[in-house]
Amino acid sequence: MAFTISMRQTFLSLLVILILVVQSEGGGIAIYWGQNGNEGTLAETCASGNYHIVNLAFLSTFGGGRTPMINLAGHCDPYSNACVGLSADIKACQAKGIKVLLSIGGGVVSYSLDSSGDARQVATYLWNNFLGGHSSTRPLGDAVLDGIDFDIEGGSSEHWDELAWYLSRYSKRGKKVFLTAAPQCPFPDQWVGGALKTGLFDYVWVQFYNNPPCQYTPGELSNLENSWKQWTSSIHSTKTFIGLPAAADAAGSGFIPVNNLTSQVLPAIKGSTKYGGVMLWSKYYDDETGYSASIKSYV
């Protein structure tokens, strides 16, 4: 009997500790970097102390027999192999505990997955050239990224689930490969809705902008709140982020002023056990407004 009571007390103590840990775990801010040469360096981005995750945007060309190509706008020229210089910045970010991911896709659709074999080939390419594999032509040098972000905004909805599965298998080789996605807020997402059903994604930052039926409008929170509840109750991700533009001119619609976000939106969604934080598009616009610095103590 004494042993049973002792075990029960131990269990209750561990349960209390777990609850305290979960309650003390706040949200974070994810940012997209790479699509404007005037947004500062990657090292400066991570040194700001505002971000927990940085998505390098984008690997914009891949699949369907295309030669994969990274596009980091004015930051470096991949054709002259100049982006390998980012390796030191990536390592500096990771040394601060910041995850650095490669975002594949983007708004300019020059990508597709034409078959299961195509998905496997793209996964192999990503592993060897950006993750823990080996290649003589790694575009970002020898830095090992933390994972892959799916920002799929066009083309076909086929085979993204298979790409996620193939990538997830590489986690068994040592360092975990984080998988994230940036679906549009109408549920289910037209492009990666099927992939999200796999339960393989660690973070999902839902884009609550440029989509009036499910985004915030002044004085009207219900559309966003209802969509948030649908996403968090339907997808099997570790954490869900609310994706927002960091400035009014960063998107066609859906910008939420800081005061509205901190006083109305965040209190309405942070109660979810799947709440992960805020994703912002993008570092350039965040520099314009100081949005992340204004909200980070509330996230």
Write the DSSP assignment of 156-169 as a string of letters: --TTHHHHHHHHHH
CA distance 67 to 65: 7
Query: With contact defined as beta carbons under 8 Å apart, do 122 and 115 qualify?
Result: no
Stated as kind and residue range, the H or E segment containing 280 is strand 275-281
Burial class (CB in 10 A: 0-12, 13-18, 19+), 285: buried
CA distance 218 to 58: 32
Three-state DSSP class for residue 279 = strand
CA distance 277 to 270: 8
153 classed as catalytic: yes
Q: Is the dihedral of CA 191, 195, 197, 203 positive or negative?
A: negative
Of 153, 162, 225, 288, which one is the catalytic site residue?
A: 153
Q: Which of 197, 213, 212, 281 is nearest to 242 (CA)?
A: 281
Helix axes 160-169, 116-130, angle to 10 degrees: 40
Query: With contact defined as beta carbons under 8 Å apart, do 127 and 80 qualify?
Result: no
- Max CA separation in the chain (angstroms): 73
* Amino acid identity at 97: G
Tokens of 189: 């997402």
CA distance 37 to 86: 13
Catalytic residues: 153
